[in-house]
Structure 1
Amino acid sequence: MRAIPSSLDRSVVGEIDERLDGVEDAHGVRIPWAIESGSRAWGFPSPDSDYDCRFLYVRPREDYLSLWPTRDVIETPLDEVFDVNGWDLSKAVRLVAKGNAAALEWLRSPIVYRGDEAFRDRMLRLAEDVVERGLIARHYLHVARQQRTGRSSLKRFFYVLRPAAALRWLADHPESALPPMDLPTLLAESTAKVDVREAAEELIARKAITRELGAGEPPSILLRFVEDELIRGTRYDEDSAPSHRRDEVRARADEWFRAELAVG
């Protein structure tokens, strides 16, 4: 599976492909899933946005039986253009079992450099089995609150708007704990009003052609949307009772991980 929009720089994509090949060769691992994260995958890139490639990798089965396991992260050199690193499958599965929203977002990125679709679907089914909606909603609620405490700018506002849209999506889809990754899809698949979606589209279009959006005030319709969703989302803080499924979830994650190693 490969999904690369035409807006991505082909020479940069080629370098990312080479880095992924290099990781497999140098570390003796297999990469079944490599995607773009960050503002490009979130649906609001700037002209100078860097490339945030994230990948999941699998080691040979024997490596997981070692008494001296290796690091569960592989990183490549970081610079102004490239931010390419990944997680061992074991780390990713543990994080999914804990309801880590970042791990789930990687599985739903609209930009895929390389991917085994069947692998992605199996991992999504695991997430659907074990992830608690309250943990995901609480994550987005706290991200939005944290981003609001920093220096105000139109650029930073996107980092408040997207989690607020994720909260709206979760409220509209009570059967799922796995919201889409990108802002336009979150709004399109929710009950957000047309004027909210249109205001977001206009702001995204401005960001796409402007290196720095500056410290202007976001559209009032979007400010109201964010405020309403964060107020509504406070219920997730109030519903913070510890889960009684921990042992069940861990057993399910172990079972899935062992089965996945057998597939590889």
Structure 2
Amino acid sequence: MRNVPDSLDPTVVAEIDARLAGVQAAHGVAVPWAIESGSRAWGFPSPDSDYDCRFVYVRQPDAYLSLWPERDVIETPLDAVFDVNGWDLGKAVRLAVNGNATVGEWLRSPIVYSGDEGFRDRALALLAAVADRGRIGRHHLHVALRQQERQTTLKRFFYVLRPATTLRWLREHPDSALPPMDLPTLVQETSVPTRVRDAVTDLIEVKAVTRELGTGSAPDVLERFVADELDRAAAFDDLPPRGPSDEARARADDFFRGELARLTR
């Protein structure tokens, strides 16, 4: 599957496609999932936003039997436009089972360069079965708090606003631990007040045409919204820490072995 909006620069997209093909050829890996992350996929790009392609890859089975395993990350040259790198499937699954929310976000990215829809659906089913809402909530809470400490520009406020809205989504969807990746969908799927919804839309529209938003403050209505959501989500820090269950580990092993067999036939 592929879902690349017309708003993306076709020349840049072609280079990303070329890099992904080069990774597969140079490293002998399969890439079942390659998406855009960062502000473009999060729903609030600027005219000068770079491209953050992320992918999941699988090596040949023998590579996982070596006493000297290869790195579980593949990177391509980083520059002002391109940030293209990926994780080995084993790394991605281990992190996801241990509460890292990044893999779930990648699987729900609205921008897909190339993807095996069956792989995505099976991976989402795994995460739905093993994801720990407490760890996912704690992840987003601490992302927001770290970004809040670093916030020096209105542009960076979005990096607090998105996880705060994700925490709202988790509170309103108590049976799910897999929130949408992009801010507009998060807002749409939550009962945020109309004034908050309108302020988010207005700020996204300004960012879309402005290279630098400057050091001004966010609208008061959004500052209050963020503060309230982070205060409500503080309870995630009170949950007792726990590792993945034996059942979750077994499910993860089964998923990994199954995908390794499918992708390396």
Judge same fold: TM > 0.5, yes or no. yes
Counterpart residue number, 1:224: 224
Deviations 1:180-223 (A, max 9, x none): 00000001001111111110010001001111100111111111
For residue 150 of structure 2, give the secondary structure of its aligned residue in structure 1.
coil
Q: CA RMSD in A?
A: 1.0
* Inter-partner Cα distance in structure 1 for 2:120 and 2:103: 12
Deviations 1:149-203 (A, max 9, x none): 1243210110110000000000111110000000000010011111111100100
For residue 148 of structure 1, give the secondary structure of its aligned residue in structure 2.
helix
Residue identity in the other structure for 2:229: E
For residue 4 of structure 2, give the secondary structure of its aligned residue in structure 1.
coil
Relative distance call for 1:76 and 1:195 in structure 2 (3 A) is same
Unaligned ranges ≥5, structure 1:
none
Does residue 148 in structure 1 map to residue 151 in structure 2? no
Contact 2:99 2:139 (8 Å CA) reproduced: no
Residue identity in the other structure for 2:202: E
Counterpart residue number, 1:64: 64
For residue 45 of structure 1, give the secondary structure of its aligned residue in structure 2.
coil
Higher relative contact order (CA 8 A, sep 6+): 2
Deviations 1:198-257 (A, max 9, x none): 100100010011111001111111111101101100111112x13264322222211211
* Inter-partner Cα distance in structure 2 for 1:208 and 1:244: 41
Alignment of structure 1 residues 1-264 onto 2, 5 Å: 1-239=1-239, 241-243=240-242, 245-264=244-263
148-157 vs 221-230, which moves further: 148-157
* Inter-partner Cα distance in structure 1 for 2:203 and 2:169: 20
* Inter-partner Cα distance in structure 1 for 2:199 and 2:241: 38
For residue 33 of structure 1, give the secondary structure of its aligned residue in structure 2.
strand
Instruction: Percent identity, please.
Output: 65
TM-score by length of 1: 0.97
TM-score by length of 2: 0.97
Unaligned ranges ≥5, structure 2:
none
116-125 vs 151-160, which moves further: 151-160
Deviation at 1:67, TM superposition (A): 2.0
> How many residues are aligned here?
263
* Inter-partner Cα distance in structure 1 for 2:78 and 2:244: 39
